[in-house]
Amino acid sequence: MSRLTALIADDEEAPRAQLRAALRRCWPELEIVAEAVNGVDAWDAFLEHEPAVCLLDIRMPGLSGIEVAERIAGRAQVVFVTAFGDHALAAFDAGAVDYVLKPVDDERLAQAITRLRQRLDQRATPPLPDAALQGLLARLAAQVQRPAPVDVIQASLGKEVRLIRVASIVYFESDARYTRVVHEDGEALIRTPLKELLAQLDPQRFWQVHRSVIVNHHHIAAAVRIDEGTMHLVLHGRPEKLPVSRHFQGRFKGQ
Amino acid sequence: MSARDRNTERIDWGQLMYPGPRPDFSDDQLARGGTDRPSRSFLIAAAVNLVSCLVAALQLMPVAVTGWVLGLTLAALFPAYHGAMWLWRRPTRRRLLLASLAAMALFLAVAFVLRALQLEPQLFRWIVNALAALSLACAMGFWIITLFRAHQIQARLRELDERERAIAMARQLATAQIQPHFLFNSLASMQHWVDSGDARAATLLRALTGYLRATLPLFQRDQLTLGEELAAIERYLEVMQTRLGERLRFTLDIAPAALDQRLPPGLLLTLVENAIEHGVLPSLHGAELHIVAHRDHDRTRIEVIDSGVGLPTTPQDGVGLTNSRSRLAQAWDDSARLTLQRRPEGGTIAGLDLPLYPLTHAPTHTAAPTPAQRPA
């Protein structure tokens, strides 16, 4: 039998532990492979573990649960976990979006699990239509406020602090404990992890193409498919090629 | 059993000599519950009673007296009606006594006048009997009206009090604006800590109870001091501290001179809640929160500073902030200021700049005079 894996995400420790305990009681076969304490961790953990089921808190630092679900885009079954007061969810009670309320009670969780199992057995595409998520995002916009995207990245270089305009950045790449910032006039190392940068950058301009690469799409010249699972990006006037992992290849479909 | 119940059980011997409702209504109470006129059905009932008593009395008398008795009764109607209305407007036992004595004096005077007329002795005796019966009937009528009216006003006042209490309670809950999100997230943490026997359950329960106890009475009053408001804020921060642990680091730096600054209740609490909700909670690595207050001559400056994610690109005043501004304007016109600024090193500063005393010392609400309870 194949493993049944899950990711749970909640920014508060106790509700997360409560959810974990409830899942152990109600669904012992489910293996919790990752626990995330914010939205960026949740997304990163999804890319790393590719779990079949994601239970996401809606209000989390970094990325909201809904934004994470939007990125997961049907590659896993998503159940939202939320405290009372996110009325927007009630509108989707019909089943478009599954959710459980905190504190999680076993009975309600068991219902959600039954539905999850049915969908997993049928190998149905997860019922998270984009329109439903967009609607949810719009409704929650007032509740989940996002700070303005940064327009300057500060990088220390010896004794000086370089200010790098975000518009001049070509790509970011994870490099061990640092993030390498490649811009038009050179490169720099910063301490902010790539997954956290993701939440601070304008998603219209910067596209994540790999768990460890974010690229400014103005600099992409071409996406080249090598074989079934491999793709890379060619940049304007630069020799290096950036890998595109399977999850992100959908973005580059010939029209 | 309360002291009031015991009092009603004791026999009031004073009623024997000086009957009537106790205690008297105040002018305020009469203005609230006693301005109406007698209803039409009440007047008809009184008239039917009067006529049937009169018919019964006339049966007992010789025919020769009938005209006299009818005439005297009709003549007595006018002063009796005015006496009754006088009691209706203010049903006190003093007025009851005065009205009854006046009726008796009037009928006595009529009897003396009739004696001077040298009527036939037999007829005169019947007339005197009728006058005595009329004055007794007046006194009885006055007594009944006074008691009926006093009960009516009392019942109406009780009803008005209850309605006002209900309205005050609804208003209080509405203005307290306890966020369901805050409440249920706290309960989710508590649930886990209770299930797992973690000692933090007790800490959280204590802080949450203290918060609710301090918050609800806050809103019964139109104004309170910074010191009182801080007591509720500290409980709120304790709840959040227990839930968030290292993610929230807070300090309070309050000058003692600023403690008696007057504030609209819950205003500063809203600013602190906003700093947590929109500054600290969305911040990836947690944030610091400082509450600073100091006095400068006749003004007080209060700041809620957080090192969180900062204001969104297009800061929109939430309901809380718009509401806060209008409440400030109510108390101080435009001499009070509420500002929200971006902190250069990241985060937000919410600033309150207030004159020491509000323009109008709004009176506290009379329907709910319970003083704010302080958590132990």
Beta strands A220-227 and B287-296 are unpaired
Name the CATH architecture for the domain at B177-355: 2-Layer Sandwich (3.30)
Angle at which helices B63-89 and B121-176 pack, to 10 degrees?
20
Which of A84-98, A154-168, B87-101 has the weakest average pLDDT?
A84-98
With an 8 Å Cβ cutoff, is A11 touching chain B?
yes
Residue B250 backbone zone (phi > 0: left; psi -120 to 50: alpha; other: beta) = beta
**Which one, of A86, A206, A177, A147, lies nearest residue B283 by Cα?**
A147
CB of B309 closer than 8 Å to CB of B279? yes
* A147 vs B contacts (CB less than 8 Å): 282, 309-313
Q: How close, in Å, is residue A222 to chain B by CA atoms?
A: 33
The token duo for B345 is 């090193």
Q: Supply B338's token pair.
A: 């509420």
- DSSP-based helix, strand, coil % in chain A, nearest 5: 35, 35, 35
Q: Which two tokens stand for residue B247?
A: 């993610």
Structure tokens at A229: 């699972």
Which one of A12, A85, A145 has the shortest CB-CB distance to B244? A12
Taking the C-alpha atoms of residue A42 and residue A62, their distance in angstroms, rounded to an integer, is 10
pTM: 0.66
Contacts of B295 by beta carbon, 8 Å cutoff, 6+ apart: B255, B257, B258, B261, B301, B356
In which region does residue B243 sit, left (phi positive, over 0), alpha (psi from -120 to 50) or beta (all else)? alpha
Please name the fold of domain A5-140.
Rossmann fold (3.40.50)
Spell out which residues of chain A touch residue B193, defining contact as CB-CB under 8 Å: 14
| Cβ atoms of B299 and B262 closer than 8 Å | no
CA atoms within 13 A on the CB side of B328: 21
Which residues of chain A make contact with B319, given a CB cutoff of 8 A?
Answer: none
Structure tokens at B62: 């010789």
Mean pLDDT of the A100-125 span: 85
Phi, psi of B171 (to 5 degrees): -65, -40
Query: Rounded CA gap, B205 and B243, in Å?
Result: 11
Distance CA B230, CA B226 (A): 6
Residues 6+ apart with CB under 8 A from B88: B37, B38, B145, B149
Interchain contact, B184 vs A83, CB within 8 Å: yes
Q: Which of A10, A12, A104, A191 to mutate to test the interface with B (most CBs of B within 10 A)?
A: A12
pLDDT in tens, B5-25: 455 567 778 787 788 887 788
Instruction: Please report, for chain A, the start and end positions of each structural domain, with discontinuous segments joined by +.
Output: 5-140, 152-251
Please report, in tens digits, the pLDDT of each residue of chain B (376 residues total). 444 445 556 777 878 778 888 778 888 888 888 888 888 998 899 899 889 988 888 888 888 888 888 888 888 889 999 999 999 999 998 999 999 999 999 999 998 998 888 888 888 888 888 889 888 988 999 999 999 999 999 999 988 888 887 777 666 656 666 778 888 899 999 999 999 999 999 999 999 998 888 887 766 677 788 998 999 899 999 999 999 999 999 999 999 999 989 888 888 998 999 899 888 998 888 999 999 999 988 899 999 999 988 776 555 555 567 777 887 887 787 888 898 888 888 889 999 999 887 765 544 433 333 333 333 3
**Chain-chain contact of B309 with A38 (C-beta, under 8 angstroms):** no
* Distance set, CA A204 to CA A64, A113, A208, B314 (Å): 17, 35, 11, 18
Q: Where are the domains of chain B?
A: 15-172, 177-355
Task: Give CA–CA dist B206/B241, Å, rounded.
Answer: 13
Residues in contact with B145: Cβ distance below 8 Å, sequence separation at least 6, in sequence order = B84, B87, B88, B91
Pick the CATH number of A152-251 from 3.40.309.10, 2.40.50.1020, 3.90.226.10, 3.40.50.720: 2.40.50.1020
Question: Of A62, A104, A145, which is closest to B278 when you measure between CB atoms?
Answer: A145
Residue at A134: amino acid letter: Q
Contact between B310 and A147 (Cβ < 8 Å): yes
Residue B164 structure tokens: 């006002």
Q: Are B222 and B365 a contacting pair, CB within 8 Å?
A: yes
Whether A141 has its CB under 8 Å from any CB of chain B: the answer is: no
- CA angle B341–A206–B343, rounded 5-degree value: 10
Which pairs with CB-CB distance under 8 Å and at least 24 residues apart come from B328-335? B328/B264, B328/B267, B328/B352, B328/B354, B330/B264, B331/B223, B331/B262, B331/B264, B331/B358, B331/B359, B331/B360, B331/B362, B332/B358, B332/B359, B333/B359, B335/B359
